[in-house]
Each structure stands twice: as C-alpha cells, then as structure tokens.
C-alpha cells in the first residue's frame, strides 16, 4: 500500500478515526493490527521475517537486561547481542545480498578458470527490510551498551518496529526514542495536527508533482543506449531533484502521519542541497541513516580516535557499507566509495579550504558560500549518476559523454528540469533563508491568499502530478 495510493487515502482516515477513539492500550493494539494490514498488503509472507527478527531481538534484550540487573559483566551480554546481530544481518544477507555475493563469486571463479554452478535464490525481497533491520539492531545494541532499557511488552516493541509510517522507508528511529512514545500515553496537540497536515501536504507535493513528473524524463535518458552529454547532464540534475523529492516527500508524509497520532519522528532531511561540503551533506541528507552509521558503525570501528589513517579508513568503510546498505549492486558500493572519498578529501583539505574561502565582508562570504555550494552541488550530482546507473558500463559511458562535445540541447529535457528543479530550489531557499527545516506554511500572507496558494498546490498535485510511481527507497 503506497502512500500515494487510493487505498492509503482510505486506510489513513479510518485508522485515525478509530485510533483517536481508543485508550492508550487499545491504541497500541490497534496500531499493531493496522500496521500488519499495511505491511501485509504487499505480501502477507513479509510478516514472517519481521516477526522472527523482532521476537529474537525482544528475547535477547530481555536476557541482557536481566544480566545487567544481576550485575553480570558486559562480556556475558555479548552472546545475546551477537545472536541479535547475526539474526538480523543474516536475514538481511539472505534476502538482499545472497544472490549478489553468489553471482560475483561465480564470476570471480569463472575468471580464474574454475567453473561451478551459480547458486542463486528465487526469493522476493521483503519491502523495507533494510530499514527495520537497522532499527531493531539499534534496540539490542543500546540495551547491550546499557543505554536503553529492555521493554517488558513484546507488543510494544513489535509496534515500535512495525509502526506503519516508518516501516518501509524510515526514518530509522532509535528504539529508545520510539519505544518511549509507544509505552507512554500520547496526546495529539493542535500544533502537531497543524504541522502534521503541512508535512503531509508538502510531502505529497514533492513526491507527486516534482518527483513523479521528473521520473519519466530521467528514466528515458538512463534507458537510452548512448545518451549525449547534454542528456546525461539533464538526467543527472533531474534525478538529483527526483530522488530528493521522492525520499524526503515520503519522509515528510511519514512524519506528518505520525504527528497526527501524537508520535514524533526524527528529522531526516535538512535542506541537503545547501551543503557546502561532504561532511555537512551527511548532516543534512538521510540523517537517520547517517547518524545510525555513525553511532553503530563508525564510532565502534574507532571513529577518529586512533589517528588520521584509521579515521580515513573508518570513514571509507562506513560509507562503503552505507552504499551497500542501499542495494546489492556494485554501483551502490561505488557511490559509497565516492562519498567516502569526498569525506576523506574534505577532511584532508579542510584547513587550506577554510583559509581560501574565508571572507570578512558579507559580500565576500556570500560569494564564497555560492562557489562552495555550486561545486559541492555538482559533486553530489555526479554521485547520483553512480547511484542511478544500472551497471558500471553505464557509469563509464555516461561519464564519458559529459566530456565529449554536446550535440545541442533538447528543450523537452531542459525546460522540465529547470522548472521543477527551480521550483524546488526556490522553496528550499525560502526555508533556508527563514531558518525553517520542514515546510512552508505561508504564515506571512493573509488567510484568503493562503487558501488560494494551498488550492493551487492541491490542483497541481491532483491533476498535474506525474504517473503514480512507487517510492524509490522502497527497493532498499
């Protein structure tokens, strides 16, 4: 059931209506049922891996909590956290990565002259498995570290993982944050309703009007056997705006829906295309993933504590694994490696770059900011080419096309990319200038004008949106 489907537009009001007429205990039970229905609407079998991992995580956490209470040393808790990690990563590996590694091993052996039968599995990838695996892992790891308490209610934990707004594409909530909200009574405030509706509204606008209109143009170029430089450039710019609007649109809807039920999800995007370097980008893009990787991978690897060399290695490893998390394909690994390189390079050259771009006057600062913004935006865009390509040959071919003479321009590509990209960046500029991170609420205009603005946007979403497409991040 997609957020942009008719079924969801019936499902959500029904859930809200029932939810707000129940007490806290029944609200949780009802949300478990509604989330099972939501997730099962893709394929009811998807519920089994989810149930398996949550059951084991719940049990492991309880055991670790009991040992913690008994004052047992951390080493004794280790076997439970290992069991949890192995189970979660095992399920993820089985469903998502088995075929990738098997096929690559087969090709490697074949290139060495060893011929074996390729062993692949014919299984469907459960929607959102990467998201809920990371979320469940954060719970057991936090309990293991003593940073969170294990819950005594399986259903509360199950709901925290299964809760439908974030289940399939995040934001990846920290267990302690969401569990606390599950276990205590929730009161939806007027402000939450206001914010929630705005988030949903802008989320749909970004997804339906911008991302879904850009999608077919981008696909057309990426499916073309040999696009020229101009087409490649437009497709990459287009994809840059498409993926942002698609994913952040989903997140906005998820956060908005959660708010309508009194839940608060973490911010997942904070105007990422206003980043001027790689480090800043990862504090603005997919924040729930980047902070998860920082807390549960980069820091345990040693972070920046063991010298420059190991810091660079840890950064690189974290980003490559982050890339692989997105999908079992070499282009995602390459994308992770690319961003790792950007992070390492930025770290290495930070001091000289800061000196070069330091300015004392407001105009100087503005120019310096603009140059850095422009350069890093294009570096990000190139990263999206790696991300969107379907093979390494395509990456090489499209990259080469950018450096060959361009064969004129095609206004059927240029105008939509300029229009949708320009519109998005205009809105984001207002948010950036007003220090907002979430949405425009047209607070500064009279009420009548506000109604007109909202109505025009509703019109664009309903009647000028692109052909309904699935959310890109659902595949991860």
Binding site for another protein (CB under 8 A): 5-7, 447-448, 451-452, 454-456, 458-460, 462-464
Ordered alpha helix ranges (H), 261-361: 278-281, 287-293, 307-326, 330-356
Q: Is 20 a catalytic residue?
A: no
Q: Is 166 exposed, middle or buried (0-12, 13-18, 19+ CB in 10 A)?
A: buried
SS3 content of the chain, % helix, strand, coil (to 5): 75, 0, 25
The rounded distance, in Å, linking the Cα atoms of 257 and 8 is: 11
CA dist 258 and 86 (Å) reads: 31
Q: Are 157 and 58 in contact (CB under 8 A)?
A: yes
Q: Is the peptide bond before 458 cis (omega within 30 degrees of 0)?
A: no
Identify the DSSP state of 294.
Answer: I
Which one-letter DSSP state was computed for residue 206?
I
Comparing CB distances to another protein, the nearer of 377 and 420 is 420
Report the residue number, 18 or 457, with the smaller CB distance to another protein. Answer: 457
Give the nearest distance from C-beta 471 to another protein in angstroms.
17
d(CA 333, CA 388): 12
Give the span between the Cα atoms of 119 and 350, in whole angstroms.
Answer: 47
Residues 82, 80: Cα–Cα separation, whole Å: 5
Could you tell me if 259 and 196 are in contact, meaning their C-beta atoms sit under 8 angstroms apart? yes
State the Cα–Cα distance between residues 247 and 370, nearest whole angstrom.
Answer: 25
Count of Cβ atoms closer than 10 Å to residue 261 Cβ: 19
* 443-457 CB burial, b ≥16 within 10 A, e <16: eeeeeeeeeeeeeeb
With CA atoms as reference, report the closest residue to 316 among 295, 296, 331, 301. 301
Question: Does residue 57 sit in helix, strand or coil?
Answer: helix
Provide the 10 A C-beta neighbour count for residue 396. Answer: 11
- CA atoms 359, 365, 369, 375: torsion sign: negative
Give every CB contact of residue 253 below 8 A, 6+ residues apart in sequence.
3, 165, 199, 200, 203, 204, 207
Report which of 370, 413, 408 is spatially closest to residue 236, judged by C-alpha positions: 413
Tokens representing residue 368 in the block: 């310096």
Count of positions (residues) in the chain: 476
Find the shortest distance in angstroms from Cβ 8 to another protein.
11
Give the active site residue among 198, 286, 326, 346.
Answer: 326
Report the alpha-carbon distance of residue 275 to residue 289 in Å, rounded. Answer: 17
Under 8 Å between Cβ of 401 and 232: yes
Catalytic residues: 326
């Amino acid at each position: 059931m997609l957020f942009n489907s008719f079924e969801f537009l019936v499902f959500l009001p029904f859930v809200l209506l029932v939810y707000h007429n129940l007490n806290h205990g029944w609200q949780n039970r009802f949300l478990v049922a509604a989330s099972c229905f939501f997730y099962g609407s893709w394929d009811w079998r998807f519920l089994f891996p989810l149930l398996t991992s949550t059951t084991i995580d719940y049990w492991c956490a309880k055991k670790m909590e009991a040992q913690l209470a008994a004052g047992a040393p951390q080493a004794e808790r280790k076997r439970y956290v290992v069991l949890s990690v192995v189970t979660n990563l095992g399920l993820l590996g089985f469903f998502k990565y088995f075929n990738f590694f098997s096929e690559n091993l087969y090709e490697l052996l074949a290139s060495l002259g060893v011929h074996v039968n390729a062993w692949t599995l014919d299984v469907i990838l459960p929607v959102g498995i990467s998201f809920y695996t990371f979320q469940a892992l954060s719970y057991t790891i936090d309990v293991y570290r003593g940073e969170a308490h294990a819950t005594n209610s399986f259903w509360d934990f199950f709901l925290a993982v299964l809760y439908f707004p974030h289940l399939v594409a995040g934001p990846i909530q920290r267990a302690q944050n969401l569990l606390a909200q599950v276990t205590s009574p929730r009161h939806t405030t007027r402000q939450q309703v206001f914010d929630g509706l705005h988030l949903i509204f802008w989320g749909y606008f970004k997804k339906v009007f911008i991302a879904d209109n850009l999608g077919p143009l981008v696909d057309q170029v990426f499916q073309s056997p040999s696009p020229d430089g101009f087409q490649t450039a437009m497709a990459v710019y287009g994809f840059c705006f498409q993926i942002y609007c698609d994913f952040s649109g989903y997140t906005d809807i998820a956060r908005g829906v959660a708010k309508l039920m009194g839940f608060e999800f973490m911010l997942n995007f904070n105007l990422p295309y206003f980043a001027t370097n790689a480090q800043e980008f990862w504090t603005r893009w997919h924040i729930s993933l980047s902070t998860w990787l920082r807390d549960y991978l980069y820091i345990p690897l040693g972070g920046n504590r063991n010298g420059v060399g190991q810091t660079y290695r840890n950064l690189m490893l974290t980003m490559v694994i982050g890339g692989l998390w997105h999908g079992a394909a070499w282009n995602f690994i390459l994308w992770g490696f690319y961003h790792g390189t950007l992070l390492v390079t930025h770290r290495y050259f930070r001091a000289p770059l800061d000196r070069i771009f330091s300015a004392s006057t407001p105009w100087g600062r503005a120019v310096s900011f603009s140059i850095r913004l422009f350069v890093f935006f294009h570096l990000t865009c190139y990263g999206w080419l790696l991300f969107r390509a379907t093979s390494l040959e395509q990456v090489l071919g499209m990259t080469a096309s950018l450096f060959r003479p361009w064969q004129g321009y095609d206004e059927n590509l240029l105008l939509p990319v300029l229009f949708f990209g320009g519109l998005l960046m205009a809105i984001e500029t207002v948010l950036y200038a007003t220090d907002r991170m979430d949405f425009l609420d047209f607070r500064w205009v009279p009420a009548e004008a506000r109604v007109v603005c909202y109505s025009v946007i509703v019109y664009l979403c309903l009647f000028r949106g692109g052909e309904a497409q699935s959310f890109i991040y659902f595949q991860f």
